[in-house]
Amino acid sequence: MLPDGLDGILRNEVEILLAPLSDNMSFCDLVKEVLNKTNPDLIKDTTRYKPWPLLPLLVCDAICGNWEQALPATAALQLLRSAADVFDDIEDADNTESVPAKYGIALAANTASVLVVLAEKGFTRLKDWGVTSDTVVKLIDTVNSYYAQACTGQHLDLSQAPEEATQEDAYLKLIGMKSAFAAECACYAGALLAGADQGLINLFTTFGCNLGMAAQIANDIRGITGLKDINNRKITLPVIFALGQAGQVHELLNSAFLKNDNKFVSSPRQIKDLLVNTGAIQYATIKMEIYKQQAMGVLNELERTEINIEQLRQFLD
Amino acid sequence: MESQALQELVRKIFSDEETKSQFAANPESVLSKFSLTECEKEAILRAQTKFGLTNSDSLQLSAAMPLDDFWL
């Protein structure tokens, strides 16, 4: 049974992981600033936001009715996500409000590095909750495989020519590696720590993967409607769809996103309106719904095995 | 996975006013003309119900998107 104030319990566990930094308050404060940036106060107001950081705990509880044994891993995954966020900001260099923009690359990289190190230490605390060494090793191995895959995705994203970024299948594979993996990894951790067999673990990772894909595509849509991705000339799913149009639409978007020559002198708002009027946003919306539907299909299958999925439905509302 | 049928459907709706009107009035009558999977058809109908695909502007679509930013 999940207690009230689970966010506070998770916050306390994160504080324990940060204990090695307690002798240097400025470093500790910077690390906390990074953690809060990723998730203010760790958990946002869940009446508006979904409790993504709690996902491993919720999966664990759904399977076995207990969540405590997943707590150290849940906190460790938060640290890894925050580290990845900082490294991403360093590599993309497109966010003027980021930690590297504010403190410089050196401090940002060092902060991200210690978050990775403290996360690895955090996984070792699982033994204090009765998790076997074999399971701890398996978890660490798999989590690191997920993050290695994310780095591979980032490498592809950073090194490919813009023209290579315009194929939908390749783009969906890329966001699976770079973004959706986080939800898949969280579900994997929760299921493994609940003592699930491989079949059940596979179901939960499928759920997590579809959840993550839907969330990233929603982010793509917001990136267009909020103009951020247009201003940064970022090629995401709506743009890929619209680039497939023949004629003037293709020429305009090709100029704006691939050649970056503003030959047709389109303002960000004009580009946004074009992407709406050609159905690009709507196409991305349908794709998002497909992934959500697939995730819901897995939940329905899990429900037939008498797994309590109620806490997981909220991620698909 | 990329779906040619889904892309063709969306392009048709947003390039042909008659198809767009027909879809708004009776989505299934338009969907039946394309080689869509059941999953795609369900997703299209859900998206039309939730977001009003054919008659929403960008502000309305954006407002209908979930607020949280996941871990992104």
Q: For residue B61, which residues of chain A lie inside 8 Å, CB to CB?
A: 221, 225, 276, 281-282, 285
**A38: its two tokens:** 């990723």
Q: B46 and A293: CB-CB below 8 Å?
A: yes
pLDDT on residue A47: 53
Confidence of residue A78 (pLDDT cuts 50, 70, 90): very high
Q: A49 and B40: CB-CB below 8 Å?
A: no
Question: What's the whole-model pTM score?
Answer: 0.92
pLDDT on residue A40: 56
Assess whether pLDDT exceeds 60 at residue B66. Answer: no
Burial of A210 (0-12, 13-18, 19+ CB in 10 A): buried
Percent of chain B with pLDDT over 90: 61
Q: A182 and B58: CB-CB below 8 Å?
A: no
Nearest CA in chain A to B52: A282
Mean predicted confidence (pLDDT) in A286-311: 94
Q: For residue A49, which residues of chain B lie inside 8 Å, CB to CB?
A: 67-68
How far away is chain B from the Cα of A279, in angstroms, using its nearest Cα?
6
Distance of CA A208 to the CA centre of its chain: 10
In this predicted complex, what is the ipTM? Answer: 0.90
pLDDT on residue A43: 46
Query: What is the topology classification, in CATH, of domain A1-160?
Result: Farnesyl Diphosphate Synthase (1.10.600)
Q: Which residues fall within 8 angstroms of residue A36, CB to CB, at 6 or more apart?
A: A42
Whether the CA torsion A144, A148, A153, A157 is positive or negative: it is positive
Any idea which residue has 């191995």 for tokens? Answer: A141
* The residue count for chain A: 317
Q: For residue A289, which residues of chain B lie inside 8 Å, CB to CB?
A: 43-44, 46-47, 50
Q: B1 and A172: CB-CB below 8 Å?
A: yes
Residues A298 and A300: their CA atoms lie apart, in Å, by 5
In three-state secondary structure terms, A48 is coil
Domain with CATH 1.10.600.10 in chain A: 1-160
Assess whether pLDDT exceeds 50 at residue B71. Answer: no
The answer to whether A43 touches A53, Cβ cutoff 8 Å, is yes
Angle at alpha carbon of residue A212, lines to A100 and A71, rounded to 5°: 75
Q: Which residue has the higher pLDDT, A5 or B27?
A: B27
Of A169, A225, A279, the CB nearest to B10: A279
